[in-house]
Amino acid sequence: MDRSKSISRRRVLVAGTAGIVGAALPVAGPSTSLRAGQNPDQAARPKVPADPSKVQGPLASDVGGRSPFEKPKRVSLGERRTSSLTPLQDLDGIITPSDLHFERHHAGVPAIDPQQYSLLIHGMVDRPMVFTLADLRRFPGRSVIRMMECSGNGGRVYRREGSQTDLTPQQIDGLTSTAEWTGVPLATLLREAGASPKATWFLAEGMDAAVMTRSIPIAKAWDDALIAYGQNGEPLRPEQGYPVRLFLPGVEGNASVKWLRRIEVGDQPFMTREETSKYTDPLPDGTARIFSLDMDCKSLVTEPSFPDKLTGPGWWEIRGIAWSGRGKISKVEISADGGKTWQLAKLDDPVLPKCHTRFRLPWEWKGGEALIASRATDETGYVQPTYDVLLAARGPSTAYHFNHIRAWKVAADGTVNFGGGL
Amino acid sequence: MNRQGRRKHRGFGPFRAWLAIAVMCPISGFAQSKATDTKPLGIGRVATVDEIAKLDIDVRPDGRGLPDGKGTVAEGAKVYAAKCASCHGKNGEGATFDRLVATDSGKNFDFATNPKLPKAVGNYWPYATTLYDYTYRAMPFQQPGTLTPDETYSLVAYILALNKIVPDDATMDRKALPAVKMPARDRFVTDNRTGGKVVK
């Protein structure tokens, strides 16, 4: 990640509170939000009036943009750019702005004309049906705020436990995001097509060059699967499946097939490449878990985090997000002493099922070393495990679902580094 | 979408739909109801047989969906050299894209405990039909969806032979392929995680 170009407001808040005084932000002045060693391109700093109360500002615009001082970015870790990660450390609240929602695709982002778009539903149905986008929008709709997480999220730190400390929340766990999704319940469409009560699975297929396919237990369709066309109040972004995607709350992201063209109702799983050779979890007992769809309860402190530097002892707010694919978060505990003692964090409203939940805890840093970690519990009673517990259950080279407790190490000089699993 | 179309129906569409829902499901939760004997809302149109045939390319483990045609290992070697080797290596050892050939799975399917054990068709894929489905739908990477059924059967036969799963004189077709038992087949288990106190 290119940190020098993505200094954002929250960095200012966390690391530079003392240096910034409201409207007195100097033109091209030194930023106190920077960690030692960073090299901001001062020449590129936006020019603003020294006193904005003395000049008329720009007039209303057709499409708004961010402040030129705010440049949050997704980052792509692989050379092939088949995914990009959400800058979790730059976000407040629970909603991920649509242009920062993480991406993962297997054959790029297809270009689709919404007027040419249609969805086919067939298989074990009385009436195989074709729905245009206008048709889908005409059905009784539904909006829900839910998270989505890629099941590979966090794999990098799980597999190389302890080996790298210069990692941001984005680099560790940026394959999770939350949005308001709007669409028609798949149950409504299955009812429209007359799905057989004997059906047990359905296949979802995309129209990207991977022609992505996943098999899903049909119970999920009758429960909360959504055929989504809206994201945060506007049509889906192209990289999120425009014009229509499947959205499966709480389920590993890959199964929420984007650019959805077909749903086939059946009575057995189709055993596609992704759900057999890829998204399965080898276990230490010589088996591999298949259709391990639910995302386990997890949390992450996003502030303070690498590359923050606490400017001095005193009160700081520890902030982060927690979520569970099985329901609501019931509590988040925070430790600043590496897990010896834990304190309950405050959960911000709303606390929604299968959704990022924002937690906060005021913390008085007395100077000296600290190891900050969060531990979430969901409404099923599941407690986010330590690294050792997860390792024992899954083995060191299992392939997906990495939800162990993460820690941040605060050094005596206030620098913050990733502290590995707890 | 066709925002125009949306406006056109605004006068009665949603109202009728909501009325129908209200009549059919007096209690909340139409999305939870499993009943399929309700009357359709009359939105959308019935698909034609041709429309379905054009998109319905999936192949299941029982062979349903496999087309007519056949292919041999020898023929597959030629197609592979021309269309696959540049990404997957001369002998399926992997290059810029996935390794296709591996027969070692350790003492006891050791993928969770041995990070150096590569996964590939021979030691990890549970179903041979998946190889047909995926190759036909998405390969070759730069010309996805251009292989004929015969080419696909040939490639599948060749890759299975490279993995020592079928003999070098094997022919694959809609009957032979689902009968191939993959070495990893019985290793896959259903998800037993249910939340609660125990970390599985």
B62 contacts on A by Cβ (under 8 Å): 268
Report whether pLDDT(B20) > 80: no
Task: State residue A40's pLDDT score.
Answer: 52
As a dihedral over the C-alpha atoms of residue A180, residue A186, residue A191, residue A196, rounded to 10 degrees, the angle is: -160
**Do A153 and A237 contact (CB within 8 A), yes or no?**
no
Q: Is A343 left (phi over 0), alpha (psi -120 to 50) or beta?
A: beta
Q: Rounded to an integer, what distance in angstroms lies between the CA atom of residue A210 and that of residue A202?
A: 18
Among candidate residues A41, A60, A49, the one with its CA nearest the CA of residue A25: A49
- Report the mean per-residue pLDDT for chain A: 91
Number of domains in chain B: 1
CATH code, domain carrying A317 = 2.60.40.650
Of B6, B129, B196, the CB nearest to A271: B129
* DSSP-derived pairing of the beta strands A281-282 and A288-290: antiparallel
Task: State residue A400's pLDDT score.
Answer: 97
As a whole number, mean pLDDT of residues A102-120 equals 97
B24 in any annotated domain: no
B192 in any annotated domain: no
Report whether pLDDT(B97) > 70: yes
Picking from B7, B15, B36 by the largest number of A CB atoms within 10 A of its own CB, the best residue to mutate is: B36
**Do A158 and A402 contact (CB within 8 A), yes or no?**
yes
Answer yes or no: do A242 and A372 share one domain: no
Answer yes or no: do A135 and A275 share one domain: yes
Answer yes or no: do A150 and A249 share one domain: yes
Q: Which DSSP category does A249 fall into?
A: T
Answer yes or no: do A125 and A198 share one domain: yes
A53 in any annotated domain: no
A75 in any annotated domain: no
* DSSP-derived pairing of the beta strands A201-206 and A260-266: antiparallel
Tens digit of each residue's pLDDT (9 = 90 or more) over A33-60: 444 444 555 567 999 999 999 999 999 9
Q: What are the C-alpha distances in Å from A412 to residues A96, A271, A275, A365, A416?
A: 33, 53, 47, 10, 9
Q: Which residue of A has its CA nearest to B35?
A: A191
Q: Rounded to an integer, what distance in angstroms lies between the CA atom of residue B61 and that of residue A271?
A: 7
A117 contacts on B by Cβ (under 8 Å): 1
A226 in any annotated domain: yes
A73 in any annotated domain: no
As a whole number, mean pLDDT of residues A17-22 equals 36
| A381/B196 Cβ within 8 A | yes
- Of A269, A289, A309, the one marking the end of a domain is A289
B101 in any annotated domain: yes
Answer yes or no: do A312 and A254 share one domain: no
B19 in any annotated domain: no
Number of domains in chain A: 3
Tens digit of each residue's pLDDT (9 = 90 or more) over B104-159: 999 999 999 999 999 999 999 999 999 999 999 999 999 999 999 999 999 999 99
Answer yes or no: do A282 and A303 share one domain: no
> B57 vs A160, which has greater pLDDT?
B57
- Of A289, A318, A338, the one marking the end of a domain is A289
A97 in any annotated domain: no
A204 contacts on B by Cβ (under 8 Å): none
Answer yes or no: do A121 and A192 share one domain: yes
A160 in any annotated domain: no
Closest Cα of chain B to A28: distance in Å? 45
Report whether pLDDT(A21) > 50: no
| Helix extents (H) in A52-181 | 133-138, 155-159, 169-173
- Report the mean per-residue pLDDT for chain B: 87
B32 in any annotated domain: no
pLDDT confidence band for A32 (50 / 70 / 90): very low
| B46/A139 Cβ within 8 A | no
Domain of B85 in residue numbering reads as 70-187
Q: What is the pTM of this model?
A: 0.88
Closest Cα of chain B to A112: distance in Å? 11
Task: State residue B21's pLDDT score.
Answer: 45
Decide: helix, strand or coil at residue B110. Answer: helix
Q: What are the C-alpha distances in Å from A227 to residues A136, A184, A259, B37, B144?
A: 8, 5, 11, 21, 26
A397 contacts on B by Cβ (under 8 Å): 111-115, 117
* DSSP-derived pairing of the beta strands A118-123 and A260-266: parallel
Closest Cα of chain B to A395: distance in Å? 5
| B17/A287 Cβ within 8 A | no
CATH code, domain carrying A145 = 3.90.420.10
Closest Cα of chain B to A123: distance in Å? 9
| B36/A194 Cβ within 8 A | yes
- Inter-residue long-range contacts of B93-100, CB under 8 Å, 24+ positions, other chains counted: B94/B118, B94/B120, B97/B141, B100/B159, B100/B162, B100/B163
**Do A377 and A128 contact (CB within 8 A), yes or no?**
no
Q: Rounded to an integer, what distance in angstroms lies between the CA atom of residue A365 and that of residue A317?
A: 10
B43 in any annotated domain: no
| B45/A138 Cβ within 8 A | no
Q: What are phi and psi of B154, to 5 degrees?
A: -65, -45
B200 in any annotated domain: no
Answer yes or no: do A39 and A128 share one domain: no
As a whole number, mean pLDDT of residues A150-156 equals 96
Tens digit of each residue's pLDDT (9 = 90 or more) over A276-296: 999 999 999 999 999 999 999
Answer yes or no: do A375 and A233 share one domain: no
Give the number of other CB atoms < 10 A from CB of residue B134: 22
CATH code, domain carrying B116 = 1.10.760.10
What is the side-by-side strand order in the sheet with A343-344?
A: A343-344, A329-335, A370-378, A406-410, A416-421
A72 in any annotated domain: no
As a whole number, mean pLDDT of residues A304-321 equals 98
* DSSP-derived pairing of the beta strands A357-365 and A346-347: antiparallel
Q: Rounded to an integer, what distance in angstroms lies between the CA atom of residue A303 and that of residue A416?
A: 10
Residues above pLDDT 90, as percent of chain A: 87
Of B9, B109, B197, the CB nearest to A381: B197
B29 in any annotated domain: no
**Do A248 and A308 contact (CB within 8 A), yes or no?**
no
Q: What are the C-alpha distances in Å from B177 to residues A143, A316, A327, B149?
A: 44, 63, 42, 13
**Do B200 and A298 contact (CB within 8 A), yes or no?**
no
Answer yes or no: do A145 and A270 share one domain: yes
Those residues with Cβ within 8 angstroms of residue A339's Cβ, 6 or more apart along the chain or in another chain: A371, A373, A386, A405, A407, A422
Query: Is the bond into B140 cis (omega within 30 degrees of 0)?
Result: yes
B190 contacts on A by Cβ (under 8 Å): 289-291
| A192/B36 Cβ within 8 A | no
Residue found by looking up tokens 């890829």 in the block: A278
How many interface pairs between A and B have CB atoms less than 8 angstroms apart? Answer: 232
| Helix extents (H) in chain B | 3-9, 13-24, 49-55, 73-83, 85-88, 121-124, 128-138, 149-162, 176-179
Domain of A393 in residue numbering reads as 298-421
User: Does the predicted interface ipTM exceed a cut of 0.95?
Assistant: no
Task: State residue A79's pLDDT score.
Answer: 83
A381 in any annotated domain: yes
Picking from B111, B123, B182, B191 by the largest number of A CB atoms within 10 A of its own CB, the best residue to mutate is: B111
Answer yes or no: do A116 and A1 share one domain: no
- Of A289, A307, A332, the one marking the end of a domain is A289
Q: Which DSSP category does A53 fall into?
A: G
Of A197, A292, A324, the CB nearest to B36: A197
| A185/B31 Cβ within 8 A | yes
Among candidate residues A314, A105, A184, the one with its CA nearest the CA of residue B18: A184
Answer yes or no: do A138 and A245 share one domain: yes
Give the number of other CB atoms < 10 A from CB of residue A39: 9
Decide: helix, strand or coil at residue A125. Answer: strand
